[in-house]
Amino acid sequence: MSKIIIIEDDIYLREELVNIFERKGYTTGSISSFDAPETEILRFEPDLAILDINLPNKSGFELCKWLKARSSFPILILTSRDTLSDELHALGLGADDFLTKPCNPERLIARVERLLQNYGKVKSMIQVGEYVLDIDTYKLIYRNSYIILSETEGKLLKILMESYPNEVTKEKIFQGLWGTEEFVDENILQVNMTRLRGSLNNIGASKIIKTIRGKGYKLEVQENDR
């Protein structure tokens, strides 16, 4: 079941929203401290965020903009602010939907499910720490940067991300890239791995791929990337 994070400073509403979605079988998380909500949100690795606008320290507008630049999950704004300018501003920052409080729980659930379905249909994302790979386009997003990988580079990174944090044998990579492990020269794999590392270097991520001597490769994401 999908993971939903609630970013709401009203403790009673926050608990109510958590209960609503947990009764529906969702895994939920919430932000209780607003000193550094960005870290908590990304660490939870949500499939969707429900975000209030009027928050302590950093507004929901700022958070929405920040999250959209670094993540791939949909954001539903749930706020008491009901002006058209607020809605248009939120949507302009990348919010995927906008609802005003009080909101009928069934309407809220329906909107959330629609967003999750839409993203599931049009977006195929893999996320490891702050690295997000769109496996349809092989666009890799990392913090404020992104690169478009070649098809072979994208497939190679996809295999490593799907196996994270475990290592991947050369044989498994051969199968994933070429559908066979027979008649494949290991030098070809090394060449493609070098190309991938070169591409990752453009966003400062070349060191996340570690060579396991005699076996294969694995991703190592540093703690500050998680």
| The pLDDT value given to residue 194 | 93
| The pLDDT value given to residue 12 | 92
| The pLDDT value given to residue 223 | 55
Spatial distance between the Cα atoms of 54 and 46, rounded to a whole number of angstroms: 21
| The pLDDT value given to residue 224 | 53
| The pLDDT value given to residue 183 | 61
| The pLDDT value given to residue 226 | 45
Can you say how many angstroms the Cα of residue 108 is from the centroid of all Cα atoms in its chain? 22
Q: Which of 173, 137, 61 is nearest to 146 (CA)?
A: 137
**Residue in the structure block whose two tokens are 């049009």:** 122
Spatial distance between the Cα atoms of 83 and 53, rounded to a whole number of angstroms: 12
Spatial distance between the Cα atoms of 154 and 175, rounded to a whole number of angstroms: 15
φ, ψ (nearest 5 deg) of residue 140 = -110, 125
| The pLDDT value given to residue 184 | 66
What pTM does this model have? 0.55
Q: Mean pLDDT for each consecutive 10-residue tract of the chain (226 residues)?
A: 89 92 85 84 89 90 88 91 92 92 90 87 70 84 86 92 90 83 76 93 88 90 60
| C-beta of residue 218 within 8 angstroms of C-beta of residue 163 | yes
| The pLDDT value given to residue 182 | 67
Spatial distance between the Cα atoms of 30 and 6, rounded to a whole number of angstroms: 5
What does the H/E/C string look like for 138-157?
A: CEEEECCEEEECCHHHHHHH
